[in-house]
Amino acid sequence: MQYEIKGTPFPVAICTLNQGESLITERGSMSWMSTGLDMQTKGGSVGKAFGRLLSGESLFQNVYTAREQGAYIAFASSFPGKIIPLDIRPGSSMIVQKSGFLAAETSVELSIAYKKKLGASLFGGEGFIMQKLSGNGTAFVEIDGDACMYELGAGETMYIDTGYLAMMDETVTMDIEMVKGGMNLFFGGEGLFNTKVTGPGRVWIQTMPVINLAASLIPYLPAKGS
C-alpha cells in the first residue's frame, strides 16, 4: 500500500492498494474511491463489536479489498485537524482518544483500552475507555487541530489540560491530579483537574479539542426560536 495525506484544515488520506490488499474503517469514513474495490461490512464477535461501541466507534466495520492493482480509496477527516499515519508493530501498540481511529490495514487490530486508575477514569476528560491499536501495519488517526509530540524519558512527567491528550505509546501511564491551591482551583479558569502522563514513551497533544471548538462557537450561534 502507498498513501498520501493532503489538505488543510480538513485533510484526507488517499491510499493506493496492490491487488488483494485490504483496509478496514469505521462505517461512513470512506469519502471516495476508484473502481476495482469490493466492500464487505463486518461486525466480528459480540465482545469486539461491543468494545468498539464503548470506545466511541460503530458496531460494524467496513473492509475494502482491491481486486485490481492500483485501486485507490480516500478517507477524509471529520473535523478541522490532522491525519497522522502510525506504523504499528508488535510490542509498539498505541493508545488513542475515543473516535480517533480513521482507517488501517486489516493486520491492525482496534480494541478498547481501560484506564487502570479510578481517578483517570472519572475525571481525566478522555472518558473511561480509550482505543488501542495493535498488530502489524499502518493505521490512520484523526487529531483535533494541530499536534505536538513529546518523547518522555522513564519517570518524566508532564501535565495536560483536560481534553488535549490525543494519543500516546502504550508504555506511557496516565492519571489525573487536582489543581493545587484554593485560588487556582476556583478562580484560575483551568478547571479542577489536569491530566498527568508519565514516560517512557511518546505523547501527542492536540491544539484544539473538538469539544473546545464547539464551546467557542456557542456564543455566536442564534438563540433557539430567534
Any bridge partners for residue 151, and if so which?
202
* Per-residue model confidence (pLDDT) at position 197: 92
Q: Name the CA radius of gyration of the chain, rounded.
A: 19
Domain boundaries, the chain: 2-217
Residues linked to residue 30 through DSSP beta bridges, in sequence order:
75
Chain centre to alpha carbon of residue 187: 32
Q: Which residues pair with 114 in a beta bridge?
A: 129
Distance in angstroms (rounded) separating the CA atoms of residues 15 and 203? 26
What is the spatial distance between Cα 161 and Cα 164, in angstroms, rounded to a whole number?
6
Other beta carbons within 10 angstroms of residue 74's beta carbon come to 18
Predicted pLDDT of residue 191: 52
Classify domain 2-217 by CATH number.
Answer: 3.60.160.10
Q: What is the 3-state secondary structure (H, E, C) of the chain?
A: CEEEEECCCCCEEEEEECCCCEEEEECCCEEEECCCEEEEEECCCHHHHHHHHHCCCCCCEEEEEECCCCEEEEEECCCCEEEEEEEECCCCCEEECCCCEEEEECCEEEEEEECCCHHHHHHCCCCCEEEEEEECEEEEEEEECCEEEEEECCCCEEEEECCCEEEEECCCEEEEEECCCHHHHHHCCCCCEEEEEECCEEEEEECCCHHHHHHHHHHHCCCCCC
Please state the pTM of the whole predicted model: 0.83
Strands 157-161 and 101-105: what pairing? Answer: unpaired
Under-50 pLDDT residues of the chain? 45-47, 55-56, 120-121, 124-127, 181-185, 187-189
Write down the pLDDT at residue 213. Answer: 72
pLDDT tens digit string along 101-134? Answer: 999 999 999 888 865 555 544 554 444 578 899 9
